[in-house]
Amino acid sequence: MLRLVLASANPDKVREIVALLGAVPGLELVARPSHVPEVVEDGETLLDNARLKARALRTATGEAAVADDTGLEVEALGGAPGVESARFAGEDATYAGNVAKLISELDRVGAVTPDRRRARFRTVALVAFPDGDELWAEGEVRGTIATDPRGSAGFGYDPVFVPDDSGGRTFAELTSDEKEAVSHRGRAFRELARRLADRG
Amino acid sequence: MLRLVLASANPDKVREIVALLGAVPGLELVARPSHVPEVVEDGETLLDNARLKARALRTATGEAAVADDTGLEVEALGGAPGVESARFAGEDATYAGNVAKLISELDRVGAVTPDRRRARFRTVALVAFPDGDELWAEGEVRGTIATDPRGSAGFGYDPVFVPDDSGGRTFAELTSDEKEAVSHRGRAFRELARRLADRG
């Protein structure tokens, strides 16, 4: 039995990770202990940040830790918000604040038509083992940014991200099963599960 | 550190339980192991079912286990669906199937106006300890059943349950923080956390 402590305390992310890894045989998923302090996510890449979070938790607990970092990269904004996605509208940004900032930035640069609003979501998920070993996987989904938020499922930028081949629906208009089948986080964690199984 | 294994493998419920208990000091929450078989929920009350699930998991793992059972009780239907809420439309019922059945049953009995559509959600949350001790808590929220589903947050009957004092919004139109502040499950798990803290 491999015991994995989850670095994320965000219930929305925990929901998805449990949905994605909860049925993997031989894994025991443990919620982040409340006494472990948060780490400053000042890495330059998603991989840096996932590693920072997983290593800090491994150090605090002495156990294998899994962390992920996710970024929304918008072409017309030169790849922004990227690693800044969670705090695009400021340090204490809300989901709605980040979405509003994204829409206003796209307006500001005149990116109105769908082909000017191309974007991708990327997740890097990483396990840091007590022996220093690390395993990681990446997932990506391409799409466009809607002009107005639609739907109330999901979280974060979901109400304005329209994945390709979704019939024009945003992530927030998909069921959680539909979202996880194609999402960046779904792809990253399924690949991570395969790599964990290969490692044995 | 009290280690609690979660009986529910439903990601939506896990999300709420982690949001409600994740910050409680001294608790370690562990996801349901994938090898533990499901238990038949044939109790006559919510407390019976929560106890059945927690005891079965405690037996399978030898550890303290927490389970909850939730029912929607509709006055005009004599308290139905109650303990049958998760399978109102049949054994493999979907959330949408159960909602559709509820609406059609209310139509059938002619319960059209809000005062004829009164309902309450109840949750019983129970911890079974390895030494045979048990702790439980109950949470309740009153409201009415909407005539049509609205909103896509939450899960289950959330799109048709309008809690009192929500300004007419369904649970599925509230943010998760708003829902957890007043919900049956929020109230049950906050009370359970207090009882766990009192027990020490």
Q: pLDDT tens-digit profile of A77-127?
A: 999 999 999 999 998 899 999 999 999 999 999 999 999 999 999 999 999
- The secondary element (H helix, E strand) that includes residue A73 is strand A65-74
Task: Answer yes or no: is pLDDT of B199 > 90.
Answer: no
- Using a pLDDT cut of 70, give the percent of chain B over it: 100
For B74-101, give one letter per residue: b (16+ CB within 10 A) or e. Answer: bbbbeebbbbebbebbeeebebeebbbe
Closest chain A C-alpha to B181 CA, distance in angstroms:
15
Q: Would you kindly state where each structural domain of chain A is located, as residue ranges?
A: 2-199
pLDDT band of residue B34 (cuts 50, 70, 90) is: confident
Closest CA to B112 of B77, B63, B146: B146
Catalytic residues of B: 69
Cβ-Cβ pairs closer than 8 A, A with B, add up to 74
Which chain A residues are Cβ-neighbours of B1 within 8 angstroms?
33
Residue of chain A minimizing CA distance to B4 = A30
Burial class (CB in 10 A: 0-12, 13-18, 19+), A169: middle
Task: Answer yes or no: is pLDDT of B200 > 80.
Answer: no
Task: Answer yes or no: is pLDDT of B154 > 90.
Answer: no
B94 touches chain A (CB under 8 A): no
CB B117 within 8 A of CB B145: yes
Span B2-22, average pLDDT: 91
Window B:19-48, CB contacts with A under 8 Å: 19, 22-25, 27-35
pTM over 0.90: no
Which of A11, A152, A173 lies at the smallest CB-CB distance from B19? Answer: A11
- pLDDT computed for residue B151 by the predictor: 87
- pLDDT computed for residue B176 by the predictor: 85
- pLDDT computed for residue B47 by the predictor: 97
- pLDDT computed for residue A2 by the predictor: 92
Which chain B residues are Cβ-neighbours of A11 within 8 angstroms?
15-16, 18-19, 22, 176
For residues A183 and B111, what is the distance between their CA atoms, to the nearest angstrom?
Answer: 41
Strand-pair category, B134-145 with B81-82: unpaired
Task: Answer yes or no: is pLDDT of B61 > 80.
Answer: yes
Cβ pair A11:B30 closer than 8 A: no
CB B71 within 8 A of CB B121: yes
SS3 sequence of chain B: CEEEEECCCCHHHHHHHHHHHCCCCCEEEECCCCCCCCCCCCCCCHHHHHHHHHHHHHHHHCCCEEEEEEEEEEHHHCCCEECCHHHCCCCCCCHHHHHHHHHHHHHHCCCCCHHHCEEEEEEEEEEECCCCCEEEEEEEEEEEECCCCCCCCCCCCHHHEEECCCCCCCHHHCCHHHHHHHCHHHHHHHHHHHHHHHHC
Half-sphere exposure at residue B100, Cβ-oriented, CA atoms within 13 angstroms: 7
Span B97-106, average pLDDT: 96
Q: Which residue has the tokens 């799409």?
A: A143
Amino acid at A116: R
Amino acid at B4: L
User: For testing the chain A interface, which of B3, B14, B175 should be mutated: the one with the most A CBs within 10 Å?
Assistant: B14
Q: pLDDT tens-digit profile of A123-165?
A: 999 999 999 999 999 999 999 999 999 988 888 999 999 999 9
Q: Which residue has the tokens 């964990």?
A: A196
Which of A27, A35, A152 lies at the smallest CB-CB distance from B172? Answer: A152
Residue B55 vs residue B41, higher pLDDT: B55
Cβ pair B14:A18 closer than 8 A: yes
Residue of A69, A131, A148, A158 with catalytic role: A69
Task: Answer yes or no: is pLDDT of A200 > 80.
Answer: no
- pLDDT computed for residue B35 by the predictor: 87
Closest chain A C-alpha to B94 CA, distance in angstroms:
12
Q: Domain A2-199 falls in which CATH fold?
A: Maf protein (3.90.950)
Residue of chain A minimizing CA distance to B18 = A11
Residue of chain B minimizing CA distance to A16 = B11
- pLDDT computed for residue A1 by the predictor: 86
Residue A172 to residues A81, A158, B80, Cα–Cα distance (Å): 19, 5, 31
Angle between helices B11-21 and B184-199 (to 10 degrees): 50
Amino acid at B184: H
